[in-house]
Structure 1
Amino acid sequence: MINISSKLPNISNSIFSTMSLLATKYEAINLSQGFPDFDCSPKLIDLVHSHMKKGHNQYAPMAGVQSLRERIAEITENLYAAIYHPDSEITITSGATQAIFSAIASIIRSDDEVICFDPAYDSYAPAVDLCGGIVKTVTLLPDNFTINWDDVKKLFSHKTKLIIVNTPQNPTSRTLTDDDMRQLIKLTNGTDIFIISDEVYDKIVFDNNKHISVSSYPELRERSFVISSFGKMFHMTGWKVGYCLAAKKLTTEFRKIHQYLVFSVNTPIQHALGDFLEDADEYLQLSDFFQGKRDFLTTALNNTPFRVLPSAGSYFLLADYEKISDEDDIAFTKRLVAKHGVAAIPLSVFYKNKIDKHLIRFCFAKKQETLEKAVDCLSSIHIQSR
């Protein structure tokens, strides 16, 4: 018998897999995982086919197809007034999660400390653990999920190596402000602390607000890995294509990990994305598109006992169910899918200490008919149904 000493002993099947299986079991509407149930643009699919037929089917350059990196550089400069050289500061990755892992692995060594904000996307902490780092968490303030930067400062030590921020944030849908960026500058100036800015929903910001990117601030740009995702941008999460922006010295270390983790990313898809991005409307219209879905679900849930929290960006909104049940959020979501036919995600799974605030997360990146069916199911919930 071979004994295995797990490197991640506390990790089991994710709640996303659990809820998706329950959704299948009960033939429920799946508003749990963050993926659309509608197709990406037929134009983009045609472009992929075209590049396959042109013979673009072998390994791409390790850093990514040149035309795509050049297009990303142009867009980043136009949107955020940030200049990144396509040859030495932009890397195409196999999705954003791989980019996050590669960035963490490129700088974190044993006992280095990493500051994260709870609730947080669930890939950060395991990646830090695998690299021998230590996660220090700052809990976002109740209700509006803002950051108390004094609490961040209190966690600083001589071992602090990295701060991970996420805007628009998953799962809270909060966006960072210019003041947040100024606070981050103030805290990191004169230090050797790096930043990973997870900006996978940067093209999905609501209410006529603009995405505020770490890349727009020269003081932060030089110490930051900025990560985005075409999967979230163009409704094709299964294609797993993202990218990392970072200063030349950081990119050099990033690519040392990247080349041995995946080496290169799907070639015809990269060529197709480079062509597709020539039409700015394909990404500039995303905020309005998803805001319509957010507004529909928010209005509908406001006619139920759920209390909807503001959603400033991303695919998600949070809802408080305290008027419906005093169950913990995992038990409530399981009952929601079994009894009412809608799958959601309990917020507690995004906290290191599994804090239960009686909040659940709905994904509204769905067809209109899917959202309408979900609303019909949720409308049967009443305050007295405890």
Structure 2
Amino acid sequence: MAVVATKQYQSLTQESAISLASELSLFPDEAKLTCEEIGDGNLNYVFLITDQMNGSGVIIKQALPYAKVIGESWPLTLKRAKIEASALKKHGEYAADLVPKVYETDENLAITVMEDLSHLTIVREGLIKGESYPKLSTDIGNYLALTLYHTSDFALHPFEKKALVIEFSNPELCKITEDLIFTDPFFDHETNDFEPALQVEVEKIWNNKLLKLEVAKLKRSFLTEAEALLHGDLHTGSVFASEEETKVIDPEFAFYGPIGFDIGLFLANLIVQSITREGKQRDVIHGHIRNTWTTFSSKFAGFLELSEFDSFKDIEGYNAFLLEKIFHDSLGFAGCELIRRTIGLAHVKDLDSIENEKKRILLKKQTLKTGERLIVSRQEIDSIDAVIELLGEIKYEYSIID
């Protein structure tokens, strides 16, 4: 629902964000409001408005008309704010406990006002500090199964599903994904960013024809397979959590795409943690990798058996084929994410914050090799346990090099 429809777009400040919260009657008249800009992403402002009288708060997120990480030379559509709010609401229909509540939206100001999650921690930050979040993989596995099944052809009448495909058309942000995940890292492109010590490994990627063929297939899938309403950018920086609670945020890249994409991106970001951890901490991450897939696949398989709209659901082998395809797709997308987060435009703190240069470069080489193998060998990897074994093999290879 638009709330201040006559206003034209202008970037919020901390002062104007407080004024907006007051105008929207989100707090009592006697509230003493403070504001903190807490966004650390690449595309938006995020303001935390808090009532100092009782500690209650809301989040106001505003899309900028350009990429914050680059500046005004990279313009972006403000429509993504509406896409994000609509995706939170749609996913909230099926996974209400796993996404923040949306209180208000304003399409002109490109804002979404939502539940305050400041009592939770961004999962990437927590994992870097060695936290494990015992419910994380179960919650994310359930979130993936619930949102991906219930927005697909398996659960929706064809007319309803195709109307949603139109509603969630998101070409500008999809183009960012197409370029930054599936194209630029595999060519000598100006957006790429990596240390000179990785030059040899990067050039091997650029010259690997088999790898690029498989990436081309994955990109074709991303471009053409409108299977379900994706989050579109599901990494550990898009999840808030505690030991008891998990919330998925930031679906501004939402669109209809291949089911394996969301799964692959989340698995890739867990794999980065596997690469940077040792011993029992690494075992914890492997448990999350395994449990994310097994929770998703078990719940999704159960949903498939109940499908109202798939006439072939009872044909022997069909549902197994569907899950096998999703699994192999997920591994390929995970591989692309690993490579782009290492040598592309947008890196991850898990790797870049490692101060010891020798160790950082070694782990980045390991990440690149893991991504390459997941892409090229994805059809031969037959289980999530085989993925864990592969991670161990590559870890051993690079420990010998060191």
Question: TM-score, normalised on structure 2?
Answer: 0.26
Structure that is richer in helix per residue: 2
Question: TM-score, normalised on structure 1?
Answer: 0.26
